[in-house]
Amino acid sequence: MASRIFGSAIKRREDPRLVTGQAKYTDDFVLPGMVYMSVVRSPYAHARIRRIDTKKAAAMPGVLGVFTGQQMKDAGFGPIPCAWVVPGSDTKTPPYPPIAIDTVRYVGNAVAIIIAGDRYQARDAVDAVDVDYEPLAVTVDAFRATQKGEPQLHGDVPDNICFHWKVSGGDVESAFKSADVVVKDHIINQRLIPNAMEPRAALAQYASAAGEITLWSTTQNPHIARFLLSLDTGTPEHKIRVIAPEVGGGFGSKIPHYPEDSMAVFASKMVNRPVKWTESRSENYRSTIHGRDHIQDVELAAKKDGTIVGLRAKVWANLGAYLSTASTGIPTILHGLMLSGVYKIPNIHEDVYGVFTNTTPVDAYRGAGRPEATFIVERLVDLLARELKMDPVDLRRKNLIPPFTDGYTVATGLVYDTGNYEGALNKALAIADYPKLRTQQKEMLAKGQYMGIGLCTYAEICGLGPSQVAGAVGFGGGLWESAIVRFHPSGKVNVMVGISPHGQGEETTFAQIVASELGVGVDDVEITHGDTDQTPMGWGTYGSRSTAVGSGALMGAIGKIKEKARLVTAHLLEAAPDDIDYADGKFFVKGSPDKFKTIQDVALMANVAWNMPKGVEPGLEASSFFDPPNFVYPFGAHIAVVQVDAETGEIALKRYIAVDDCGRVINPMIVEGQIHGGIAQGVGQALWEGAVYDDQGQLLTGSMMDYAVPKAEFFPKFELAMTETPTSVNPLGVKGIGETGTIASTPAVYNAVADALAPLGVKTINMPLTPERVWRAIREARR
């Protein structure tokens, strides 16, 4: 880190191609002979398929084929695999056929596919497929679906309970028995729709002569996609190439291996042409995964002085109709283990029921499990403060885990890496001028105006993660990363990585790392990712892992390059390798800094190999794999200030202060960008967003006309600051920052609104906090 490039806010190299329209997304690729796929989808949330008549559709202009689930099965295509089965939870994994065969289980469930010459022909033929449905009873609510008399989705899953997972630490029963005070809440952490700017797409080319598949896909993890595709298509992994070209955001929704990926491959095989499918936004809302959707009964036990002694929760997590790729891990491992938050809570117990319902499958959405945990603990802490008439800051201070640099074990068993929670809180309070805000609040209340101040102090688990832990918790893959650093004779560098960024900016930050470490210009480094034929194996980009884990692999490769450069330099300068030092891009003889070779000198000499040291191979290239010893735990403190119009129920977000700590910062502008987007999505959950189903399983918020994705004008200017507490988990001391905003901002804003409404006697309101809900809550409280 000799150079100033590390830590500087250089502009993202990704942006010129994005803002000029030169970036190529999956839908931009056109292959000779390419045809189009459209999907016939169920309008019913639950129905038996009596008959599918495809004759009329098959005779439509331009139609090359109409295929059903049965045909796909007969062609040897298997069910979509679930890649995460959490041990000890009695998880049922009913089959997930890519195209429904006899039963549809949610609105949007595929029942047939059309292959046609152009998109219009493909779409027209959808309406011509005649499906005879026998509608069945529908269940959509995760709690209700477990009750007697509700329809059962899968034959072998009684009461629709897919799993019952438990986490326990300490003795929660005794803690609650001996507590002075217990606060409770019933939380609905509502279902959200991820809304990546680019919808999903798949372009499949089956080459029959070689038996090879190439799939261009909107995936966050092409190597996982290839692995899973090999399982359900029957084509072996070495005959599959998955390419993730430009991917326009994912937020977790592009982690799963989706039915349409397999359908496109199947279709290409059937019609012997490249087949492209691109979903419409309406399709996206119904057939791309949703996030969150928990019903939670939660309680917190404490002593009179505010010392927290226990936390207990019972959660019904809606999984939707089928198990998406990582769905079972989200409401368990990534959720329940984080219930201690940033507090010393000696006794914790949680029961989680994963429940099937007649809704779109639920999987990872930005934060994935951790927002659902952080909201519980941050909400309960505020309720406890109110119950004890303590300032929420004082109550937090009393219970915060003190600063630590060598690991802190919480009751759920996790070992947090490093933290200084009070440091972040103090900084946020200083920026907010907290005492002044409280004074202002009192003055406004005297005038009949309702201002609220909300806090969230959080830590989160990310940088997924040690592969041994991944295996132990039932994740069907590893979680290490890899990198290849290749120097060309001219000293320019290509880096190939296993991660697959799609908006996170690692093409820039990884170039900054290479430039800083090896003394090359940042523009002399090119980062290649997202193509299984061009990049080494890696597990992809999600769980704020790309920099936290990927940079470890990159640093490993850089270390090997440095080591080889030392040998080459020593040989060229006729010195002993141990006498060669490195600083500021120069390999020099100790004590004689004017005797040196630059990395460019070494790259040339190693590549021409005219004069290599004995036993040293030519070339300057290194590859490395990195499996971290632990997860990383970024943290911070967020403060929201709101004003509530008690007449209309409208909420105005007046200020938003965020202090985040992601360890060492490679590029502060990119970190801020991640925080901005995260805050917007998290506040979106608190105030505007929510997927709503009616009792027949119809999605009422089926388009952007109804589902409120936040707009820039809804927000004040964010007031951001950072603290830097490096981790020892990876060589650079970096932690993930992709999800902190969504984890912290939902409770911060919710707590602010609750704070504003407390003088009116309002206790709890369901999210999103729409004007009508706020108005009704005020009216109820006044009665």
Partner 1 sequence: MFAAPFDYHRPRTVAEAIKILREVKGSRVLAGGHSLLPAMKLRLASPAALVDISRIEELNGIRSAKDGLQIGALTTHAALAASDAVRKSCPVLAETAGQIGDLQVRNRGTIGGSVAHADPGADYPTLMLLLDARFTAADGKTREIAAEKFFVDLFTTSLKPGELLTSITVPATDGAAVYLKHRHPASSFAVVGVAALVRMKDGKCGDVRVAVGGATAVPIRAKAAERALAGQAPTAANIERAAAAVGESLKNPISDSYASGEFRVHLATVMAKRALAHVTRGG
258: which residues sit within 8 A by CB, 6+ positions away? 80, 200, 202, 287, 288
**Residue of 618, 700, 761, 780 that binds partner 1 (CB under 8 A):** 700
Site string for partner 1, 282-321 (x = CB under 8 A): x---------------------------------------
What's the rounded Cα separation, in Å, for the pair 204 and 277? 9
Q: Does 281 bind partner 1 (CB under 8 A)?
A: yes
Is 648 a binding residue for partner 1 by CB under 8 A? The answer is: yes
Which CB sits closer to partner 1, 210 or 712?
Answer: 712
Rounded to whole angstroms, the Cα distance separating 55 from 723 reads 65
Half-sphere exposure of residue 577: CA atoms within 13 angstroms, side-chain side = 10
Supply the DSSP symbol for 734.
Answer: B
Least distance to partner 1, CB of residue 648, Å? 5
The residue (of 226 and 290) whose beta carbon lies closer to partner 1 is: 290
CA quadruple 510, 512, 515, 517: dihedral, nearest 10: -80
Contacting partner 1 (CB under 8 A), which of 184, 704, 761, 782?
704
Q: Which residues in the 156-215 window bind partner 1 by CB under 8 A?
A: none
Smallest distance, Å, CB 123 to partner 1? 4
Using the contact rule CB under 8 A, the part of the chain among 380-388, 422-430, 673-681, 697-705 near partner 1 is 697-705
By CB under 8 A, name the one of 443, 650, 695, 780 that touches partner 1: 650
Ordered DSSP codes for 444-503 = HHHTT-EEEEEEEEEE--BS---HHHHHHTTBSS---EEEEEEE-TTS-EEEEES---SS
| Closer CB to partner 1, 8 or 282, in the complex | 282
Single-letter amino acid code for the residue at 699: L
What angle separates helix 771-782 from helix 740-757, to the nearest 10 degrees? 30
Label residues 33-47 b or e (16+ Cβ within 10 Å = b). eebbbbbbbbebbbb
Binding mask 237-276 for partner 1 (x = CB under 8 A): ----------------------------------------
Least Å from the CB of residue 655 to partner 1: 20
Among 56, 119, 398, 595, binds partner 1 (CB under 8 A): 119
Count of Cβ atoms closer than 10 Å to residue 409 Cβ: 11
Could you tell me the CA-to-CA distances from 88 to 85, 164, 167, 294, 337 in Å, in that order? 9, 8, 10, 21, 15
Q: Which stretch binds partner 1 (CB under 8 A): 135-143, 370-378, 613-621, 708-716?
A: 708-716
Q: Which tokens go with 550?
A: 């990927």
User: Applying CB under 8 A, what is the total number of residues that bind partner 1?
Assistant: 30
* Closest CB to partner 1 among residues 340, 770: 770
Binding mask 709-728 for partner 1 (x = CB under 8 A): xx---x--------------
Q: Which residue in 178, 272, 280, 409 binds partner 1 (CB under 8 A)?
A: 280
Site stretch for partner 1 (CB under 8 A), options 119-127, 130-138, 160-168, 495-503? 119-127
Q: Distance (Å, rounded) from C-alpha 269 to C-alpha 13?
A: 38
Q: Which residues does residue 453 pair with via DSSP β-bridges, in sequence order?
A: 641
Q: Is 103 helix (H, G, I), strand (E, B) or coil?
A: strand
Q: Give residue 507's identity as a one-letter amino acid code.
A: E
Rounded to whole angstroms, how far apart are CA atoms 194 and 363?
A: 10
The first and second tokens of residue 193, run together, are 């729709």
Least distance (Å) between residue 645 CB and partner 1: 9
Please tell me whether residue 342 adopts helix, strand or coil conformation: coil
Choose, by CB under 8 A, the member of 391, 533, 706, 780 that binds partner 1. 706
Smaller CB separation from partner 1, 446 or 705: 705
User: In the bound complex, what is the minimum distance in angstroms from residue 692's beta carbon to partner 1?
Assistant: 5
Beta-bridge partner residues of 299: 184, 312
Contact code string over 120-149 relative to partner 1, x by CB under 8 A: x--xx--x----------------------
Task: Give yes or no for residue 572 binding partner 1 (CB under 8 A).
Answer: no
Measured over the CA atoms of residue 15, residue 20, residue 26 and residue 27, the dihedral's sign is positive
Minimum CB distance to partner 1, residue 318 (Å): 18
**In the complex, least distance from residue 120 CB atom to partner 1, rounded to whole angstroms:** 5
Tell me whether residue 123 or residue 239 sits nearer to partner 1 (CB atom). 123
Interface residue list for partner 1 (CB under 8 A): 119-120, 123-124, 127, 280-282, 647-648, 650, 687-688, 692, 700-701, 703-710, 714, 770-772, 775-776
